[in-house]
Amino acid sequence: SGQAARRYIDRRSVMSHTQAPQRKTYVAKASLEVFYTGGPCRLSYDGTMVAAACHEAVNIVEVGTGKVVHNLPGDTEPITALCWSRDGRRVFTASRSMRCSVWDATTGESVRTFKAHSTPVLYMGVDPTGTLLVTTSADRTARVWDIDKGFCTHAFRGHGGMVTVACFHPDARKLQLYTGSQDGEVRAWSLRERKCVGVLQAHQSSVTAIQVPMAADGGADKLITCARDRVVHEWNLKTMKRISTLPVHEAAEGLVCLDPAAAAGLIGKAAVRAAPDAIYFATAGEKGMIRVWRMGTGKPVSSAVHLMAGRVVGAAHEGQEEDEERDDAAAGTFVSLQPTSKGDGLLAVTGDSRLLFYGSGEVEDRDEEDEEEDDRDDEEEGKIVIQKELIGNTDEIIAAAFLPLRDGSKHGSTSDKLGDGKPALNALAVATNSSLLRVFDPSTMSCTAALTGHSGAILSLDVAIGPNGESLVLTGSRDHTVRLWDLAPAARAVATGRAVSGGAATTAGAKCLAVGQGHVGVVAAVALAKRNGAPLALSGGADKVARVWDIAGALAAYAEARAEAFEAAGIDPKKHKGDHPSVRVEPVMLGAKAAAIAHDKAVNCAAIAPNLTLGATCSGDRTARLWRLPDLIPAGTIRGHKRGVWAVAFSPTDRIIATAGGDKFIKLWSCDPNAGVQSSCLRTLEGHTAAVLSLRFISSGTQIVSTGSDGLLVLWGVRTGAAVATLDGHDDKAWALASDADGDVLATGGADAKLTLWEDGTAEAAEEEAKELALKAGTQQALSNAAASGEHLKAAHLALKLGHPFALRKAIEAMMADPEGHGDAALDSFCSGMKGKTLHRYLSYIREWNANAKFCEAAQRCMASLFRHHSLSELSGVAGAKDTCETLKAFTTRHFARAGRLLRGTYLLDVALAGMGALLDDDVEGGLNIDDEVKTTDHRGIIAEMGFTPTDTNEIDTFGRLGIPAKPAARTPVLTKLPEHVGGDDMDDFDFDMEDDKGDAEELEGEMDEEEEEAEEDPSDSDSDAPPREVVTKKAPAKGKRAAPVKAPEPEPESDSDSDAPPMEVVTKKAPQRGRPPKAPKSSKSAAEELGLAAPPAISPRKTRRQRRESESEQVELEPEPEPKKKAEAKTPAKRKAAPKKEEAAPAKRSTRSRK
């Protein structure tokens, strides 16, 4: 059952965990990336660097390691020409945009740019002195430039077609330049006379190379030219006549003249002795062969192996023929040829972006007896072999696997590297969407071998150790065939370090043992048995058929064929452990043991269980099937994925099988033969964001690594089902995944043409974590000490380094609270040196502080300091700057609005004082005596303190005596009640407007009039019999006008006043004494209305007071107005007329002064 299976996997996982260490992470050790995509490629004169065009940029690559040293950015247009300076310090480039650039090769920086021609430059070269640069262009001209000063010294015109190539005479004293054009014409130019001194017309197509054979007898006066018309011409520079013509039988793309002394290994010592003064040159072209010629002969002196040697033509169906022919045309041709620095080798560039370094060396990896026997032949004959290969563009990396070697095998021992009795990792076999099986050295990431045999692209491969220690590789291809290879010699060459020496980086000793035919479609899945000498293999493909292959029988058949071939050649096979150069053994047929229709769609992957009894296949039909081997008997079907299944693998220790599909999931299934092979899902691993394409078990089956279309490498725990580490290694689909025996080293490859090598970084990560913890503890102690000693600037630096925002804020607040006022200076010193990640972290802290009103002051001060010391471009370069600024802006707007409300609230006191200026204190019993002396100067000071600006002293006196305030200043705030607020106790209920709004003033005046009508007088604390006082106000004069004189109104009959003094604006009446009944109510009109005066702009009572007054049960009865006052009543506003009359309230016991 499922529960029993889960208990089983938990128990087995616990046992495995005690045996194998658990890995936490991986670290990318090396990677092979695209550095050349076609176009110009030039070797430096010292032979250590290569400048190669990569789209619109140029990469400077180190020849020894294949690593990109510098990337010279372009201008979005392809590179059309480039060259090196003689000293190797500068690189000259030209793009299709007609811009030429000079670069510093040591720093990768641009030195100068200029425009050389009106059309793109096609060729660039430097003279022997290193002071002149020649450029040829499609505008049919050639120009010579001074390198140091950057100006044009010569401009040569005369060609009838595009000038494709140029060459300076090697002898600097000659001062001659030779150019070739697309129409086959060659011209000689004199730099002294600045004119054409010869026209050489013989070629019928575009000239591709021009050379002066300086090493030959009289070579300084001769010229060698080649073109795509399949011939090479020899010219006499004195007479400008053709001497001879040599057919090369191919469209030559490159020609290099050889020095017989330096290139004797390429030419052959016998040939050099026969004609030491002859002209020797090497050609490369469309046939894919490097050949050495001697002028005057009709056949090559020596030649290299064809690029596609050993490849079987055909065997692909019609739909693939066009694509394969196009791929073969690129892979089997050369596009350029250059000499090495010492003249003893050649650099040939292929059409599929490979850089092949040719030299003289051993062709075969033979025993010492074979080498001694053939020493004489090697000395006499020229040998041209590939010594090194750099792959500029691997295209898609589809499959990869490490080649294992076992110590004590019959082919040798590498116990110092491989260990005792354990399979070890050496070379890396890679399928790169081509028909070549490539072998890479993991230490340098350089290609050490390229094997031909398939006629279509290789889509799958697997490796195992053979019964005799062979490094067996099984490959499946688009040519519908399966091939079995022995790559032990190539693996040993890498393991022993011979892959970097002459001749070892070839296909020497690596051979194809058998070819299996039977599939009628693309073979996309192969699997080799990993134990017992790999006796069988399983394959599947687009024909939906699974096949079991007899590997043991094929190895035995090949051994018999080899023995027969040696006997036919008369050589004892027992004396030669390897192959003999004179004996060629053809691959044998790989027989099939069983075949069956496996799925409804193409088979994507295959696997064989460690016990060799079960096999598994998966397909795009969303299922995986189990088979009993070797008879291919169905043993079960796994269903559960919602999309096609791309990968399947058996656990090396548990009865578990893992599947990965296009639904982004990895599923673990029980696979117990004793339980009837009832597959139940144990766990589902979720973490990839796209389809999972490959997976492997590592750490003795306790962990899984997987890659997918998201380009991620994910490390999983089998027991927990959680992702331990997620690593981003590719920009596109990661198709290939290879691991060593237990996962110490991984290799991944994908559609981005990138091959990455990963190493277990668990130990390094643990050491770094321990160091970080120790450093963090020390830093925290230093932070505590700095905070305690008052070194706030130091504390801020330490808090930011540790990532403690609380401690950082405390330090900043302490700096701002400096009593000496040095807080801003300290904060500026703290912010001035920030950059990169530190600045990003600091901005994130400021964002968090600014979101809280308690800490916004510190955030605002920090922002101000940042803006003072960092430019906008620098701040905008911080990661997430846009989102951070939006957050800061939103909360800063709120903080400023709140601060504005607080600031406006402070105006309440000013407005209140301004309103209180209209009321006079009545501390003196009996009120104010009009005969009392009122000092004008005192009123002027009071009015000035309240913010008023009277224009005249008389006006001040008049207003002061009448109790009417002077006109406020232009910016005096006006208090108005906000309509949306109900309460009256919050200062936010008022809106302060700095402008003198006439409408607001009138509304305020109207409210004040109503308040005065409803107001009631409190009983006086005095025992005097004086009548109550009543305040009568006069309307303030209009703006810009002086107040009109006030006339005394006629005395009212009801008035008890005995004074004969003239009427004043302030009229007082004694309140009734305690115990006396109040007088009859008066008219609703106030004394101010009777005098025709308006009330002063004083502050109105609070709304809550009005509510309290309206809620009182007793109403104030006002005294009716006499008939003569009807005119004044008619002049009152309608609002005042409509106000209901109220009864006079009972006298309160508080004083009039306290109420005012």
Structure confidence by residue, pLDDT tens digits, 685-714:
999 999 999 999 999 999 999 999 999 999
Cβ proximity of 79 and 58 under 8 Å: yes
| pLDDT for residue 283 | 95
Cα gap 561→261, rounded to integer Å: 43
Tell whether the model's pLDDT for residue 885 goes beyond 80.
yes
Predicted local distance difference test score (pLDDT) of residue 1111:
59
pLDDT in tens, 710-740: 999 999 999 999 999 999 989 999 999 999 8
In angstroms, the CA 743 to CA 1053 distance is 117
For 373-422, the pLDDT digits (tens) are 444 444 556 678 888 888 899 889 999 999 988 754 433 333 344 444 44
Query: Per the structure block, which two tokens stand in for 658?
Result: 């893992």
- Predicted TM-score (pTM) of this structure: 0.67
Q: Tell me the C-alpha distance between 1036 and 970, whole Å.
A: 16
Burial tier of 69 (Cβ tally within 10 Å: 0-12, 13-18, 19+): middle
Residues whose CB falls within 8 Å of the CB of residue 601, separated by 6 or more in sequence, listed in order: 544, 619, 620, 621, 644
Cα 491 to chain center, whole Å? 37
Three-state SS annotation for 770-788: HHHHHHHHHHHHHHHHHHH
pLDDT per position as a tens digit, 1027-1043 = 444 444 444 444 444 44
Strand pairing category for 588-589 and 511-517 = parallel
pLDDT of residue 791: 87
Q: What pLDDT shows up at residue 39?
A: 93
Three-state DSSP string of 654-703: CCEEEEEECCCEEEEEECCHHHCCCCCEEEEEECCCCCEEEEEEECCCCE
pLDDT value of residue 299: 87
Determine contact, residues 1037/940, Cβ cutoff 8 Å: no
Residue 232, by phi and psi: left (phi above 0), alpha (psi -120 to 50) or beta?
A: beta
**Average pLDDT for residues 435-455, to the nearest whole number?**
87
Q: Which residue, among 476, 610, 483, has the nearest Cα to 545 in the 3D structure?
A: 476
Tokens 């040719």 sit at which residue?
358
Measured over the CA atoms of residue 668, residue 671, residue 672 and residue 675, the dihedral's sign is positive
Instruction: Indicate if the pLDDT at residue 1016 is higher than 70.
Output: no
Q: Which residue, 676, 622, 678, is CA-closest to 646?
A: 622
Q: Which residue has the higher pLDDT, 541 or 931?
A: 541
Q: How far apart are CA 832 and CA 838, in angstroms?
A: 12
DSSP state of 792: H
Both tokens assigned to 1127: 């005119």
pLDDT grade for 109, boundaries at 50, 70 and 90? very high
1068-1122 pLDDT tens trace = 444 444 444 444 444 444 433 444 444 444 444 444 555 556 655 444 444 444 4
pLDDT of 869 higher than 80: yes
- Mean of per-residue pLDDT scores for the chain: 77
Of the candidate ranges 122-126, 267-271, 655-659, the one whose mean pLDDT is the lowest: 267-271
Q: With contact defined as beta carbons under 8 Å apart, do 586 and 600 qualify?
A: no
Euclidean distance between CA atoms 486 and 468, whole angstroms: 11
Other CB atoms within a 10 A radius of the CB of residue 1053 amount to 6
Average of per-residue pLDDT across 827-835: 84
The full DSSP string for 422-442 is: S-EEEEEEEE-SSS-EEEEET
Sequence-separated (6 or more) residues with CB below 8 Å from residue 314? 455
Q: Specify the pLDDT at position 349.
A: 95
> Cβ distance 356 to 305 under 8 Å?
no
Q: What pLDDT was estimated at residue 510?
A: 82
What pLDDT is recorded for position 819? 81
Torsion sign across C-alpha atoms 72, 74, 79, 85: negative
For residue 1153, pLDDT beyond 50: no
Residue 700 one-letter amino acid: S
Cα distance between residue 253 and residue 230, in whole Å: 10
* Highest-pLDDT range among 202-206, 962-966, 1058-1062: 202-206
Specify whether the CB–CB gap between 36 and 52 falls below 8 A: yes
* Rounded CA separation 713/719 (Å): 19
> What is the per-residue DSSP string for 94-158?
EETTSEEEEEETTT--EEEEEE--SS-EEEEEE-TTSSEEEEEETTSEEEEEETTT--EEEEEE-
Separation between Cα atoms, residue 739 and residue 722, nearest integer Å:
20
pLDDT at 319: 44
950 falls in which pLDDT band (50, 70, 90)?
very low
Could you check whether the bond before residue 979 is cis, i.e. omega within 30 degrees of 0?
no
With 0-12 / 13-18 / 19 or more C-beta atoms within 10 angstroms meaning exposed / middle / buried, residue 88 is middle
Q: Is the pLDDT of residue 1139 over 80?
A: no
Q: How far apart are CA 34 and CA 755, in angstroms?
A: 10
pLDDT at 970 over 60: no
Amino acid at 302: S
3-class SS letters over 124-140: EEECCCCCEEEEEECCC
**What is the tens place of the pLDDT at every residue in 567-589?**
888 887 776 666 676 788 899 99
Stronger pLDDT, 1104 or 995, i.e. the higher one: 1104
Given a cut of 60, is residue 206 above it in pLDDT? yes
